[in-house]
């Protein structure tokens, strides 16, 4: 089997047919001419279905009967545009029950350029290794669908039902690099067949057994139920503790806690009564009165703080800090934490590490306030902010807490709580009234595989992913708590739980693990294989 597959791919890179939308009318644009059979069309070109036939008309009014299938391709390698999205390859318009199916046909590698950034946006997941893992599973899924298409017209759709595809308009530099550097790499089973590589956003700390979720899947039995990768954590301690606000704490560290020395050295101010003259001299406003200072934005901000009750000394700290910052002596850097080695912090996508010291100030951001703490626990992929002075770390601020020690524990849907009123559930399931909800079957890790909803004179049974979709829940890994007027659903994860966990893959990649390691963890029963097309 594998020999014939290799032979097939050696001959030509496979093309994939992606269903975009079903419409009655369409407008196709391009920066150059559009070819359709023997016709050369000037865009924009308008299409309309009439009496089971597709008619096309260009902006000059030229009208052509295109039949039941219209094939469009750009001249001179331009892109085609449908509903303000650019697409590589060709577009097919196929008449279907007096409407048109809009289908994009293009080489698999070009298709992936529009899939990877929509499935794992490079801005949110700025890791080449994580994006490489995503590219490989998306390629495997796509090629599997070419072998076993959704129907005779197209192989798969462009929505989360299949995998999200945004055309050439979605492409990004980092995800393009991930696709190109993994060209032809797929996951195969023991027979050498390309795998329908399931994946999801967040596994809620634990992967699902494939057979529980997709009982008819070709390789479902080979997707194991196992915990998401458990990340190590790093603890940073500081000897510095202060009641000052963030700006004051940072300058206190720079000035060794000697406020008077810092003010004298930096502003040339020796006494409190000399503040005004010292500031005037510093800002080269000699000969003017203190009111002139309030024409400067810094002083306007501080005066507003003063009117709100801030103490004078803290305002001076803020002023000095802002001036340091504006002069470029203090810098702020936001990044993704990777790991800690001795006294050096490594960030994802930063070539060089940054140096810690025993007095580096630690902040935990809570309710938009900076809380000074003595110990800070950080996991790979945590978002942190550093305040730097000559590449030394003055402070570390952690933006968000880790919910669990699993690699997807910081995800948006790592934990969720949804309340559904009885009337809502009745409406979703077309019942007059809902009286009781009972879980009939759960998986080993706690996913709800069968649910019974009792109505007034009717019972509804939901199984597997129908539980999620019919009730509108992020996942089926949840517990239920009854309330007088409805039910609370307290759950974990986002998706179906089978295969690669995107959040988990990003956590692993942030820690420095390769795409091979990531794939072997989430797909232990499959092999990584490269087609040379």
Structure tokens that stand for 263 in this block = 């003010």
DSSP secondary structure code for residue 477 in this structure: B
Percent of the chain residues topping a pLDDT of 70? 82
Ranking 21-30, 389-398, 459-468, 492-501 by mean pLDDT, the lowest is 389-398
Burial of 224 (0-12, 13-18, 19+ CB in 10 A): middle
Neighbouring C-alpha atoms within 13 Å toward the C-beta of 460 = 21
User: CA-CA distance, 283 to 267, in Å (whole number)?
Assistant: 9
Question: Which token pair is 161?
Answer: 């039902």
C-alpha 307/C-alpha 61 separation (Å) is 68
- Confidence at residue 4, expressed as pLDDT on a 0 to 100 scale: 45
| Dist. CA 521–CA 499, nearest whole Å | 10
- Of 155, 154, 153, 148, nearest in space to 196 by CA: 148
Average pLDDT, the chain: 86
pLDDT tens track for 411-469: 667 788 999 999 999 999 989 899 899 999 999 999 999 999 998 888 999 999 999 99
3-state secondary structure of 102: strand
22 touches 101 (CB < 8 A): yes
Backbone angles phi, psi at 409, to 5 degrees: -70, -10
CB 273 within 8 A of CB 379: no
Share of the chain above pLDDT 90, in %: 57
pTM for the model stands at 0.86
Question: Using CA atoms, how far apart are residues 91 and 5, in angstroms rounded to an integer?
Answer: 27
Handedness of CA 522, 526, 530, 533 (dihedral sign): negative
Q: Residue 196 and residue 110: Cα distance in Å, rounded?
A: 19
Phi and psi dihedrals of 13, rounded to 5? Answer: -65, 130
Q: How many CA within 13 A on the CB side of residue 317?
A: 21
Contacts of 520 (CB under 8 A, 6+ apart): 528
Give the integer Cα–Cα distance in Å for 466 and 127. 33
Q: Which residue has the tokens 């703490």?
A: 373
Model confidence at 183: pLDDT above 70: yes
pLDDT for residue 303 is more than 60: no
* Exposed e or buried b per residue across 420-451, where buried means at least 16 C-beta atoms within 10 angstroms of its C-beta: bebeebbebeebeebeebeeeebbebbbbbeb
174-178, 201-205, 246-250, 376-380: least confidently modelled range: 246-250
Buried b (16+ CB within 10 A) or exposed e, 7-41: eebeeeebebbbbbeebeebebbbeeebbbeebeb
Note the pLDDT of residue 130: 97
Instruction: Give every CB contact of residue 172 below 8 A, 6+ residues apart in sequence.
Output: 117, 121, 122, 123
Lowest mean pLDDT among 72-76, 300-304, 363-367: 300-304
Alpha helices by DSSP H, listed for 239-311, are 246-254, 259-267, 275-282, 297-307
Cα-based distances in Å from 261 to 48, 255, 451 = 79, 7, 70
For helices 275-282 and 259-267, the axis angle rounded to 10 degrees is: 40
> How many C-beta atoms surround the C-beta of residue 259 within 10 A?
16
User: Burial letters for 488-499: b for 16+ Cβ neighbours within 10 Å, e otherwise?
Assistant: ebebbbbbbbbb
The CA distance from 52 to 99, in Å, is 8
- The DSSP line for 4-61 is HHHHHHHH---EEEEEEEEESEEEEEESS-EEETTEEEPSSEEEEEETTEEEEEETT-
Q: Three-state SS for 136?
A: helix
- Which range, of 100-104, 281-285, 419-423, 491-495, averages the lowest pLDDT? 281-285
Convert the pLDDT of each residue in 60-115 to its tens digit: 777 787 789 999 999 888 899 999 999 999 999 999 988 999 999 999 999 999 99
Q: What is the pLDDT of residue 518?
A: 97
Please say whether the beta carbons of 407 and 231 come within 8 A.
yes
pLDDT of residue 7: 47
Q: Give me the pLDDT at residue 3, please.
A: 46
Question: pLDDT band at 6, cuts 50/70/90?
Answer: low
Lowest mean pLDDT among 109-113, 210-214, 250-254: 250-254
Burial readout 342-359 (b: 16 or more C-beta within 10 A, e: otherwise): eeebbbbeeeebbebeee
Q: Let me know if 325 is exposed, middle or buried by CB neighbors in 10 A (0-12, 13-18, 19+).
A: middle
Peptide bond into 44 cis (omega under 30): yes
- Measured CA to CA in angstroms, residue 272 lies from 260, 277, 279 at distances of 10, 10, 11
What pLDDT score does 249 carry?
79
Q: What is the maximal distance between C-alpha atoms in the chain?
A: 91
Which residue has better confidence, 280 or 484? 484
Residue 137 has pLDDT above 90, yes or no: yes
Residue 269 has pLDDT above 90, yes or no: no
Min mean pLDDT across 47-51, 63-67, 296-300, 457-461 is at 296-300
């Amino acid at each position: 089997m594998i020999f014939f597959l290799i032979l097939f791919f050696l001959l030509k890179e496979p093309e994939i047919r992606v269903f975009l939308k079903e419409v009655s009318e369409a407008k196709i644009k391009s920066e150059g001419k559009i070819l359709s059979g023997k016709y050369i069309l000037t865009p924009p070109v308008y299409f309309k279905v009439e009496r089971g036939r597709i008619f096309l008309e260009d902006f000059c009014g030229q009208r052509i009967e295109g039949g039941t299938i219209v094939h469009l391709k750009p001249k001179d390698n331009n892109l085609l545009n449908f509903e303000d999205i650019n697409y590589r390859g060709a577009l097919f318009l196929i008449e279907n029950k007096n409407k048109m199916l809009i289908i994009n046909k293009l080489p698999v590698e070009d298709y992936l350029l529009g899939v990877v950034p929509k499935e794992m946006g490079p801005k949110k997941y700025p890791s080449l290794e994580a994006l490489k893992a995503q590219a490989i599973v998306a390629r495997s899924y796509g090629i599997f669908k070419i072998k076993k298409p959704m129907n005779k017209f197209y192989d798969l759709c462009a929505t989360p039902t299949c995998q999200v595809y945004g055309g050439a308009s979605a492409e990004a530099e980092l995800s393009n690099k991930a696709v190109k550097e993994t060209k032809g790499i797929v996951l195969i089973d023991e027979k050498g067949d390309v795998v329908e590589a399931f994946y999801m956003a967040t596994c809620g700390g634990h992967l699902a057994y494939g057979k529980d979720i997709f009982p008819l899947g070709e390789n479902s039995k080979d997707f194991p139920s196992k915990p998401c990768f458990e990340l190590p954590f790093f603890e940073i301690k500081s000897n510095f503790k202060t009641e000052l606000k963030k700006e004051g704490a940072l300058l206190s560290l720079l000035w060794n806690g000697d406020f008077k020395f810092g003010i004298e050295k930096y502003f040339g101010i020796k006494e409190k009564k000399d503040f005004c003259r010292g500031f005037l001299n510093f800002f080269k406003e000699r000969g003017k009165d203190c009111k002139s200072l309030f024409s400067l934005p810094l002083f306007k901000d501080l005066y507003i703080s003063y009117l709100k009750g801030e103490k004078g000394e803290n305002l001076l700290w803020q002023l000095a800090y802002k001036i340091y910052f504006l002069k470029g002596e203090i810098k702020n850097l936001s990044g993704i934490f990777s790991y800690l080695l001795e006294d050096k912090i490594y960030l994802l996508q930063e070539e060089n590490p940054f140096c810690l010291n025993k007095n580096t100030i630690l902040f935990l951001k809570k309710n938009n306030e900076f809380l000074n703490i003595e110990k800070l626990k950080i996991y790979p992929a945590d978002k942190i902010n550093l305040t730097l002075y000559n590449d030394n770390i003055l402070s570390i601020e952690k933006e968000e807490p880790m919910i669990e020690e699993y690699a997807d524990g910081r995800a948006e849907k790592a934990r969720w709580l949804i309340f559904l009123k009885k009337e809502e559930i009745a409406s979703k399931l077309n019942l007059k009234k809902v009286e009781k909800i009972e879980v009939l079957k759960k998986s080993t890790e706690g996913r709800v595989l069968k649910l019974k909803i009792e109505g007034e004179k009717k019972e509804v049974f939901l199984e597997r992913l129908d539980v999620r979709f019919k009730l509108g829940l992020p996942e089926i890994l949840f517990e239920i708590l009854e309330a007088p007027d409805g039910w609370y659903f307290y759950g974990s994860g986002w998706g179906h739980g089978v295969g690669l966990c995107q959040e988990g893959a990003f956590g692993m990649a942030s820690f420095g693990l390769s795409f091979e390691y990531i794939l072997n963890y989430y797909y232990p029963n499959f092999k990584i294989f490269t087609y040379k097309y």
